[in-house]
Amino acid sequence: MPHKIDDTRELHEDSLGESVLRHLIYSVGKDKAHADARDWNVALSLAVRDRMVEGWIDTTRRIYKNKQKRVYYLSMEFMIGRMLEDNLTNLGLLSEAKTFLKSQNLDVTTVINAEQDAALGNGGLGRLAACFMDSMATTGVAGMGYGIRYQHGIFRQAVEDGWQVEEPEDWLFAGNSWEFRRPEVVYEIGFGGHVTHDEDGKATWHPSESVQAVAFDMPIAGWEGDHVNTLRLWSARQSGMMNLDTFNDGDFMAAARQQVLAETISKVLYPGDHTPQGRELRLKQEVFFTSASLHDLLRRFFANYDNLDTLGDHVAVQLNDTHPAIAVPELIRILMDDHGYDFDHALKITRETLHYTNHTLLPEALEKWPRDLFEQILPRHLQIINMIDGAFYREAIEKGLDHHIIAGIQAIHPHQQDWVRMGNLAFIGSRKVNGVSALHTELMKQTVFHDLHTMYPDKIINQTNGVTPRRWLLECNPGLSDLVTEQIGDGWIDDLEQLKEIEPLATDADFQQRYMAVKAANKQRLADMVKTRTGVILNSDAIFDVQIKRIHEYKRQHMNILETIALYNAIKANPDGDWQPRVKIFAGKAAPSYFFAKLIIKLINDVAKVVNNDPDIGDKLKVVFLPNYNVSMAEILIPGADLSEQISTAGFEASGTGNMKFALNGALTIGTLDGANVEMLEHVDAENIFIFGMNADEVAERQHRRARPSEIIKTSPALQQVMTQIGDGTFSDGDTDRYRDFLSNVTEHDYFQVVPDFQSYWDMQRHLDALYGQSEKWAEKTILNTARMGWFSSDRTIRSYADQIWRAPHKTSGP
């Protein structure tokens, strides 16, 4: 790693090992004899962090000096996972670190695993933000992430008697080695109160309460470590000091109460995923981090420029879903009330600066807040939203839209006045709006944003998601990485399309054999983890069939478990048949209030208990539910999978990103024509991905008709048998009540169309059974998946955002 900064050049000429030992003694305060794995982890992390700081300061100075356009990624969620291996890798220190740890008789994996996952997110949206941080640094974008430093990330999932139980998560209990507290970077965030206007009409908001937002920074190094960006997370603190009078009066509890109230804002991540969160605290969290971030980026802007007229030329802000959509009225408020701009000018500047990404079309996930709550907490913002709606109305009339249509797409419906609709607000206030896959973007235009799209036909564009090849190939799959690098060199690490060069080897017997040996070793690593965590012993000749993601009806884990039961029945009916052994692996969290999702977890565990203990079945079928799915677990599961389940009801999964990680690591996909599966099909070709079921149009048509599943069930004895067994207690120790809701859901409404897709899903699974038996053919397809997934690098995605949305400079790819 180059030492660039004069004033730190002399600071560490020592080897990595020497600085680890120095940190062990002087930062951790222990000697070798008493250090445990976590102590070593902290010492090593601090030694690595030291080496990131130079590139960090250097990057900051370079961006400032060149006045490089800055990009701010505002996200309620960052699903980062562990950072040590990522940073070692990007800085080129991994092998030196491994050699050193071995020289100290330490197990490398144990030391790396001593770090807690930073799980400050729910799922796909948060993980995408983490991949984007890595890719912005790698592609040299002057990017900064802004979010919340939740004291407690997503809950820990325990499984008791087959049911999900939520336990508190405490990732910070031993500290966070990567962060720098910035006590001097602090903003007052107001809530409530009232607004006054002076004789010139200038408004002043007088909040009735306020909290402080304090910054914590994490350096984010790109590949090869010389561009280092910042992830800045806000922590809430009581405004002013604890009230000493109250304290002296002996009422410590009252004094402490104020502090506790203020700090609740960054206390815990909301674990709802696609569920409406009509909660005051959630709205405050959104305002808290959005307002702090805007103030912070404007302060930085004023270091270079003396007025905000050209803000959009130098700054691009990306809103990750509507969670930071309050940025629209907040930026206008700052421009008007703090800097004296008139409304029209403030709106214009805002619309040159903000951009909005939509991540879901599910109606229940589109954020809206009661107008009354807004009035209470954000009286000035509500006034501004009304002004935005007024200006929008005039624009719409000019463009010839009809009153009814306009009412439907304003932020607040002018006659109903009940909700503030954040999607509409974000759309109206942004320069560009994007979806996250081609199909999703098309459906945005046709459905939720239809009328807004008619009005602004150039605003919606597509940016198909991607994943970082550093974490999701290089680090999680060292065996495959080495094999690939041996063949084509290591240029693929930051130019993933180079993987194409292994395509000719897909039919090479020797390469197939080596590729499949790597897969076998990864399957063994996966099987070891399953054994440790669940006690179930897996047959590694079986197809490892994996579905890992949040538990949700639209993702259809229940279709997978119904197929599993049908397969169990088929094997039992013919135990001596020539069955291709299979292992069904599930993992994922259910939102705590989402009963049906929790029932699906229970059903999976109930089925596992029966199947895994049935002597007729033996090794032919095993079912596993792994508790507490997180990023670190995905890093083991994905490289060890043969088959990736991407079986959402077509039209409902905006993109998916797990689908990309699996295919990159050589799992074949069984999936619907949904989200980015559609583009994966285009890239890997129809013979190498296994698409079944209805497409989005057919699903919509069937939902529209309210077609009932009963007719179909009648014609399918296999499915009928499965339903009967679930109802008669076959999997629930005779309890005929447990799955009553489940059965009525599937047999009566079946909103997510499990029944009509079941047969084609089953057929495709049996086709895959047969294919797996033709091991050369399977290997060829597997290799072609890896070779053709290069386009799905998040480096490609970020360059595309930089060109088409942010108009921000970046390094181009390739040699």
**Binding residues vs ligand 26W (CB under 6 A):** 122-125, 128, 272-275, 277, 321, 359-360, 365, 367, 436, 465, 653-657, 675
**Other beta carbons within 10 Å of 537:** 11
The catalytic residue among 139, 657, 730, 797 is 657
Q: How far is 226 from 2, CA to CA, in rounded Å?
A: 8
The catalytic residue among 51, 232, 421, 555 is 555
Neighbouring residues of 399: CB distance < 8 A, sequence distance ≥ 6: 455
Q: How far is CA 475 from the centre of its chain?
A: 18
Q: Residues 73, 320: contact at Cβ < 8 Å?
A: yes
**Other beta carbons within 10 Å of 393:** 16
Answer yes or no: 359 catalytic.
Answer: yes
Query: Which residue minimizes CB distance to ligand 26W?
Result: 124
Answer yes or no: 267 catalytic.
Answer: no
Q: How far is 188 from 291, CA to CA, in rounded Å?
A: 9
> Min. distance of Cβ 175 from ligand 26W in angstroms?
28
Answer yes or no: 715 catalytic.
Answer: no
> Min. distance of Cβ 653 from ligand 26W in angstroms?
5
285 vs 498 by CB, closer to ligand 26W: 285
359 vs 432 by CB, closer to ligand 26W: 359
Phi, psi of 644 (to 5 degrees): -110, 125
Q: Are strands 78-81 and 354-357 parallel, antiparallel or unpaired?
A: unpaired
Torsion region of 175: left, alpha or beta (phi above 0 gives left; psi -120 to 50 gives alpha): left
271 vs 627 by CB, closer to ligand 26W: 271
341 vs 472 by CB, closer to ligand 26W: 472
The catalytic residue among 661, 683, 796, 799 is 661
For residue 78, give the DSSP letter.
Answer: E
> Min. distance of Cβ 643 from ligand 26W in angstroms?
20
Neighbouring residues of 289: CB distance < 8 A, sequence distance ≥ 6: 74, 76, 146, 147, 148, 213, 234, 324
51 vs 359 by CB, closer to ligand 26W: 359
> Min. distance of Cβ 675 from ligand 26W in angstroms?
5
> Min. distance of Cβ 130 from ligand 26W in angstroms?
11
The catalytic residue among 82, 127, 323, 359 is 359
180 vs 596 by CB, closer to ligand 26W: 596
Q: Residue length, the chain?
A: 815
39 vs 653 by CB, closer to ligand 26W: 653
238 vs 277 by CB, closer to ligand 26W: 277
Q: Residues 79, 129: contact at Cβ < 8 Å?
A: yes
> Min. distance of Cβ 634 from ligand 26W in angstroms?
14
214 vs 436 by CB, closer to ligand 26W: 436
Residue 587 pairs in a beta bridge with 548, 626
Q: How far is 534 from 618, CA to CA, in rounded Å?
A: 17
> Min. distance of Cβ 680 from ligand 26W in angstroms?
13
Calculate helix-pair angle for 343-353, 379-398, nearest 10 degrees. 90
Answer yes or no: 572 catalytic.
Answer: no
Question: Quick one: three-class SS letters along 199-221?
Answer: CCCCEEEECCEEEEEEEEEEEEE
| DSSP-assigned states of every residue in 770-795 | HHHHSHHHHHHHHHHHHHH-GGGBHH
> Min. distance of Cβ 159 from ligand 26W in angstroms?
23
Closest C-alpha to 360, from 410, 407, 320, 400: 320
Q: How far is 769 from 232, CA to CA, in rounded Å?
A: 48
> Min. distance of Cβ 123 from ligand 26W in angstroms?
5
Neighbouring residues of 364: CB distance < 8 A, sequence distance ≥ 6: 274, 275, 276
Q: Residues 420, 374: contact at Cβ < 8 Å?
A: yes
The catalytic residue among 51, 127, 549, 552 is 549
Answer yes or no: 555 catalytic.
Answer: yes
Q: Are strands 78-81 and 118-120 parallel, antiparallel or unpaired?
A: antiparallel
Answer yes or no: 98 catalytic.
Answer: no
Which secondary-structure segment (H or E) carries 386? helix 379-398
Q: Mind telling me the catalytic residues?
A: 359, 549-550, 555, 657, 661
